[in-house]
Amino acid sequence: MIAAPVVSVRDLRVYYGTLSGTVRAVDSVSLEIGAGEVLGLVGESGCGKSTLGRGILGLLPEGAASDGEVLFGDRNLVGMSDRELRKFRGPDLGLIFQEPMTRLNPLMRIEQHFAETLKQHEPGLKDKEIRRRSLETLGKMGIPPTRFNQYPHEFSGGMRQRIMIALALVLRPKLLIADEPTTSLDVIVEAQILSILADLRRNFGTALLLITHNLGIVAEACDRVAVMYAGQIVEEGNARDVFGEPAHPYTRELLRSTISLDTTELHSIPGAPPNLIEPPTGCRFHPRCPDAMQVCPARFPPEEVLEGRRRVSCWLHTPDERAGPIDRHPLEREELALAEEA
Amino acid sequence: MAVTSPSETSTQPRRTRMGGVRRAFAPVSEARGMTRTMLWLGAGITLAFALIALLAPVISPYDFDTFEANGKRFPQLAAPSREHLMGTNVQSTDVLSRVIWGTQTELKVVIISLIISIGVGVPLGLFSGYFGGKLDRVLVLIMDALLVFPFLLLAIVIAFLLADKVGQGIFTAAIAITVVYIPLYFRVVRNHTISIREEPFVEAARALGARPLTIIRKYVFFNVVQNVPPLATLNAADAILTLAALGFLGYGIQPTEGAEWGYDVNRAVSDASTGIWWTGLFPGLAIVLLVVGLTLLGEGLSETINPVLRKRPVAPVDLEASHPLKVEDE
Amino acid sequence: MEVAEPAADDVLVAIRNLKTYYGLRGSFRQRLIGQEAGSVRAVDDVTLDIRRGEVLGLVGESGSGKTTLGRTLLGLVPATEGSVRFEGEEITGMSERELRRLRRRMQIVFQDPHASLNPAMTIEQSVGHPLEIHGVAKGVSRRRRVAEALETVGLAPAEQFIDKYPSDLSGGQKQRAVIARAIILNPVLLVADEPVSMLDMSVRAKILQLMLNLKHEFGFTYLYITHDLATAKFFCDRIAILYLGRIVEMGPSKAIYEDPKHPYTKALLRAIPEPDPRRSVPRDLPRGEVPDAARPPLGCSFHPRCPVAFEVCGWESRDLRDLLEARWAGMPEEAYEAEQAVLGDLTRLDVSSTSFRLETSAGRSSSDIATLLERIREDDPEEPFWRGVREIRVSDGQVEVELNEPYAPRLLPMSAVQVECNLYDEEALARVEAPTIPGR
């Protein structure tokens, strides 16, 4: 689809086993991220977006198995040994997390953090060069050189997150995966960090996969957005188009239930997100979908490509020629037991 | 709106009252791997000894100080034979009997000691941790001071002091051991209480207007009590060793009060130079086995309840059978 | 205060000049010597009323004191100074026992649904505990009232939840249980501290709707504490915006959102992410972050970040240090090191003082220093700091910089709202001959 994607995920599945059954955290996901592009991955808690983000890097939970392809360059990262993956993590693929304090070593100064990272991945670098590159990257994040030898606890939350981002970017990765990077920050600081992330392509040429549950920041900071539900991507496309005219009912309902400054009425989606051990049959959103049809629980909707490079998995958008004879009558179901309400 | 009928209601709550305790120990059933092995092995050994202690009057061939039967005096220092499976010692008493009765002695002392230590250490820890302030500072000072002393030395001193007043019986030995372990429970419970005290649900209880005693009882205790069993079992293991050491040094149970392994080992030291091995080996083995059993159980519990690495129990994953797009049903 | 006092029986809670300070644990050496380590002014002179039946929002970021204010109101944290009157009774200084009586009438819903319920108690035991504490009901009748409360909050049929443990419930269900526990004694005032911020988007609306329904059905008065202006706008009648322990703007919800006055309020509104793809990330955000509450800025606490701060807003030496650090963050190393060599050790700027000196040494003369300062000013003439400089005196061994006297802003009425900002204070403006205020 995209001319030269930085990473191409095809039919990725990540399952892990628990005592109650196999959790299908990521269940056949395909997406591509172009160079310098910002892709937002949005979904509610438990939809598998964090597992997907880490799965791309091969950081799987204990006892997990994965299948499919994550093509980086011409290598498939799925199934690679940890030792080989480590060569990619850092110089090619960066990851930043939600809580920066827990990821920075409180006993090491900032300059030591950078020295360690750079020495590990670019062993030939001289100290002077290490310092120059570190200060330059930190400078772009707004961290002054006078604080280069301070300890993490001497910085505020927002500054620590900038340091984390700088640590990831100093290696000039092609792709940065940010998992809820601003969730624990105040709203003004969040906006500051977002503008840094949105400028990544301009300053560093890095592509960004921004994982979050906050639709607002995706709309403002991302070029494209993928909406995830119950381990699968239900809609993907240009941020402007998806938010302006959502194709999938879940996207639409999610937007409606988001409370913004313009909200005059409260909307919510009845029911609760399904558990990933025994997801509903057919289209997984059908128990909660206001537009569900008879075919929806019976068969899994195929992916349709709409104009403007939009992908959506929903029977509503599958034309008859492709679908064949399907029952489009509205689905009748008993009132969702109130007990299933979240 | 549906409301439960009175008869239904009355049965429900009773079932759940112990639920709190049960849930605190739920991880035990989920233990896997080496932890599980340790748990079951340790529990097995400990249980075996407990049974021996309980059934001592039944299974022991003779009393602990019997030196004759049917008018005939037992041979002195006789090697293991059919009549005396573990031989006899210098006083012509049956070693096997002494080992079996010794089990009872050991466990009696340890249990009394545990009850007192826990009974004093845990509440003190709860109050000290919850209320803080001067009481806390004073108690911490005292307890830390006690912890600084080497256990054995302290136990000897106390046994020595009490020997004059109370005599050298089971109770004395128990108290000597107890004092030494109270600080352990105090410290663990206090520290955990302090961290639980800051939890939102405790603050919520305060906001509801609950009295401190209620909060400690209902909100703190159940969340803290899970620390006690692992500590208690390891404590028991250590106590056995301390008791045996006391007995070895002559400050333990008087030989007339009961059989004690440490005392026996002490008597057996002189036997060893003459090639008599059974008087020392069997009591010694008993000590080792019981301590190992308790330690395994304690470490197993400790791993389960406060694991070093909190691992989620994993189960096998089957990727093949379940690709969503391949499961097309009509 | 020049705001008309509402009728006495209208006001449920009257807070006057409330201060809640936390003492800091100093360093080891300080504690050894017995030296005071300073205090954090979590709530710094707050005056407001909560009227019966209204929803008052306390909005602020971290360090604003909103959470501490809520807890002081409930007596969970002792007030340092000031007065809080609940239904006419003075709460500050009450003992735990006296407060316990009042706890029936005011309750709190916490932020983290996963942590507010005792994991060792069933839902019945948790939700029914207030009934037991206050001796209202026991046994069978307690169970019946718990079932009623559960149904009221939407956990129906109650039997399905009443004997479960918190770990069996989802986040939204837990929060409903917490609400049930808070309302079971029919309180008059409900303090909700970020009740929905840890829930998913689709669940937030449900819980907020529940709270609204409860308000209509039972007539609760709410104090809604949050950092989320969007939910506050929807939910609240009046809003108070807090920054570093003080109210900076307060008034009817509509007025605040349609015509925000304080620069901080404006910044907050701009920064809220909106799921509107026509918007992009706002660029003109205030710089920096909420300062350390243990060492608040002089004058107006917001001045270091305020784009329109002017002469008297409280300039101090620390502001110069921040300015320099921001400037050096983007510079190539040689240039930064050259400038730092001229200015010397910056740690002496790390105090809150309105006059300071930069001393010369070998290799740098006072004219070097003065020239550098001038160049920095020319590079960014819009920088508000320079408006605060009264005089720069160059002498042989040093350069002395004198800044204007700070004027602490006061909370004053301004049409429909109250604002605490020098821009709206005639007295502050009068102290400057020609204040540099954009747009004036």
Task: Judge whether A324 lies within some domain.
Answer: no
pLDDT of residue A299: 86
Residues paired with residue C358 on neighbouring β-strands, in sequence order: C399
Q: What is the mean pLDDT of residues C70-84?
A: 92
Same domain, A182 and A240: yes
Q: Using alpha carbons, select from A57, A5, A35 the residue that is nearest to residue A174.
A: A35
From chain C, the residues in CB contact with A155 under 8 A are none
Q: Which residues, 6 or more positions from B198, have their beta carbon under 8 angstroms from its beta carbon?
A: none
User: Looking at this protein, which amino acid is placed at residue B259?
Assistant: A
Q: Is residue A235 part of a domain?
A: yes
- pLDDT over 50 (residue A135): yes
Q: What are the residues whose beta carbons fall under 8 Å from the beta carbon of A57, sequence distance 6 or more?
A: A77, A85, A88, A89, A93, A95, A177
Do A122 and A168 sit in the same domain of this protein? yes
Q: For position B307, what pLDDT does the model report?
A: 66
A304: in domain:
no
The pLDDT profile of chain B, 330 residues, written as one tens digit per residue, is 333 333 333 333 444 445 555 665 666 666 667 888 888 899 999 999 999 989 888 888 888 777 777 777 878 888 888 778 888 888 878 888 888 888 988 888 888 889 999 999 999 999 999 998 898 999 999 999 888 888 778 888 888 887 777 666 777 778 877 887 899 899 999 999 999 888 888 888 888 888 888 888 888 888 888 888 888 988 898 888 888 888 888 877 777 778 888 888 888 888 888 888 888 888 899 999 999 999 999 888 888 777 655 556 667 776 666 666 654 443
CB burial string C349-383: b at 16+ within 10 A, e below: beeeebebbbebeeebbbeebbebbeebeeeeeee
Interface of C with B in 121-140 (CB under 8 A): 121-122, 124-125, 129-130, 133-134, 139-140
**What span, in angstroms and rounded, lies between the C-alpha atoms of A274 and A268?**
16
Is beta strand B68-69 parallel, antiparallel or unpaired with respect to B72-73?
A: antiparallel
Quote the pLDDT of residue B30: 63
Per the structure, how many domains does chain A have? Answer: 2
Q: Which residue has the higher pLDDT, B69 or A317?
A: A317
Note whether residue A251 is domain-resident.
yes
Ramachandran angles phi, psi of B69, nearest 5°? -150, 140
Domain presence at residue A319: no
Q: pLDDT tens-digit profile of A89-109? A: 878 888 888 877 777 888 999
Whether the Cβ atoms of residue C235 and residue C201 lie closer than 8 Å to each other: no
Same domain, A147 and A207: no
Residues A77 and A193 in one domain: yes
Of residues C103, C120, C143, nearest to B4 (C-beta):
C143
Residue A270 sits in the same domain as residue A254? yes
Q: Read off the pLDDT of residues B1-36 as tens digits, 9 standing for 90 and up.
A: 333 333 333 333 444 445 555 665 666 666 667 888
Please report the pLDDT score of residue C438 as a whole number: 62
- Please give the mean pLDDT across all residues of chain C: 87
- The full 3-state SS of chain C, as one line of letters, equals CCCCCCCHHHEEEEEEEEEEEEECCCCHHHHHHCCCCCEEEEEEEEEEEEECCCEEEEECCCCCCHHHHHHHHHCCCCCCEEEEEECCEECCCCCHHHHHHHCCCEEEECCCCCCCCCCCCCHHHHHHHHHHHCCCCCHHHHHHHHHHHHHHCCCCCCHHHHCCCHHHCCHHHHHHHHHHHHHCCCCCEEEEECCCCCCCHHHHHHHHHHHHHHHHHHCCEEEEEECCHHHHHHHCCEEEEEECCEEEEEEEHHHHHHCCCCHHHHHHHHHCCCCCCCCCCCCCCCCCCCCCCCCCCCCCCCHHHCCCCCCCCCCCHHHHHHHHHHHHHCCCHHHHHHHHHHHCCHHHHCCCCCEEEEECECCECHHHHHHHHHHHHHHCCCCHHHHHEEEEEECCCEEEEEECCCCCCCEEEECCEEEECHHHCHHHHHCCCCCCCCCC
> Would an 8 Å CB–CB cutoff place A338 in contact with chain B?
no
| A209 occurs within a structural domain | yes
- A337 lies in a domain? no
Q: List, in order, residues 6 or more apart from C66 with CB less than 8 Å away.
A: C58, C59, C60, C225, C226, C227, C242
* Binary contact (C144, B1; C-beta < 8 A): no
Shared domain for A168 and A178, answered yes or no, is no
In this structure, the answer to whether residues A197 and A79 fall within a common structural domain is yes
DSSP secondary-structure letter at B309?
A: S
The model's pLDDT over C325-370, given as tens digits with 9 standing for 90+, comes to 888 887 888 888 888 888 877 787 888 888 888 887 777 788 888 8
Chains that touch A (3 or more CB pairs under 8 A): B, C
Is residue A190 over pLDDT 60? yes
Question: CB pairs below 8 Å between A and C: how many?
Answer: 183
> Model's pTM, two decimal places?
0.84
Angle at C245 between CA A99 and CA C302, to 5 degrees: 80
Place of tokens 């104009």: A307
For residues A199 and A265, state if they share a domain. Answer: yes
d(CA B81, CA B85): 5
Q: Average pLDDT in the C191-214 region?
A: 90
CB B50 within 8 A of CB B106: no
* Mean pLDDT computed over C399-412: 90
Domain final residue, candidates A230, A251, A277 = A277
**Residue C165 with chain B: CB contacts under 8 Å:** 19, 23
| Last residue in a domain, options A277, A301, A317 | A277
- DSSP letter, residue B219: I
User: For residue A254, what is the domain's CATH number?
Assistant: 3.40.50.300
Buried b (16+ CB within 10 A) or exposed e, B278-288: bbbbbbbebbe
Residues of chain C neighbouring A269 (CB-CB closer than 8 A): 202
B-chain residue closest to C179, CA distance: B204
Integer Cα distance of B170 and B162 in angstroms = 12
Write down the ipTM of this complex. Answer: 0.88
Residue A103 corresponds to which tokens in the numbers above? 């990821």
For A59, the domain range is 1-92+173-277
Alpha-carbon torsion (B267, B270, B272, B276), positive or negative? negative
Percent of chain C with pLDDT over 70: 94
> Which residue's structure tokens are 């009974």?
B119
What is the chain B residue with the closest CA to C74?
B207
Q: Is residue A191 located within the same domain as residue A85?
A: yes
Interface test with C, best of A159, A268, A269, A288 (most C CBs within 10 A): A268
Residue A25 per-residue DSSP state: E
Query: Rounded to the nearest 5 degrees, what angle is found at the Cα of B71, between the Cα atoms of B69 and B72?
Result: 70
* Residues in contact with A302: Cβ distance below 8 Å, sequence separation at least 6, in sequence order: A313, A318, A322, A323
Q: At what angle do helices C317-329 and A127-140 cross, to 10 degrees?
A: 110
Residues in chain C: 440
A145 lies in the same domain as A259? no
A58 part of a folded domain:
yes
What is the structure's pLDDT at A339? 43
Within an 8 Å CB–CB cutoff, is residue A321 touching chain B?
no
pLDDT for A276: 87
Interface of B with C (CB under 8 A): 1-4, 6, 9-10, 12-13, 16, 19-20, 23-24, 199-201, 203-211, 214, 218-219, 222-223
In degrees, rounded to 5, the angle at the alpha carbon of residue B224 between the alpha carbons of residues B220 and B228 is 145
Q: What percent of chain B lies above the pLDDT cut of 70? A: 82
Residues of chain C positioned with their CB less than 8 A from the CB of A266: 205, 208-209, 212, 234
Omega cis (within 30) before C157: yes
Instruction: Note whether A257 and A181 are same-domain residues.
Output: yes
pLDDT digits (tens, 9 = 90+) for C373-386: 899 999 988 889 99
Instruction: Tell me: do A271 and A195 sit in the same domain.
Output: yes
Q: Is A65 on the interface with B (CB under 8 A)?
A: yes
Strands of C11-23's sheet in order across:
C39-51, C11-23, C81-86, C89-90
Please identify, among A172, A187, A208, the residue that sits at the C-terminal boundary of a domain: A172
- In chain A the beta strands, taken as DSSP E runs, fall at 5-18, 21-34, 38-42, 64-72, 75-76, 93-96, 175-179, 207-212, 224-229, 232-238, 303-306, 310-313
CATH numbers and ranges of domains, chain B = 48-56+94-308 (1.10.3720.10)
pLDDT at B29: 65
Q: What are phi and psi of B176, to 5 degrees?
A: -55, -40
- Residue A14 and residue A66 in contact, taking contact as beta carbons nearer than 8 Å: yes
Contacts of C35 (CB under 8 A, 6+ apart): C26
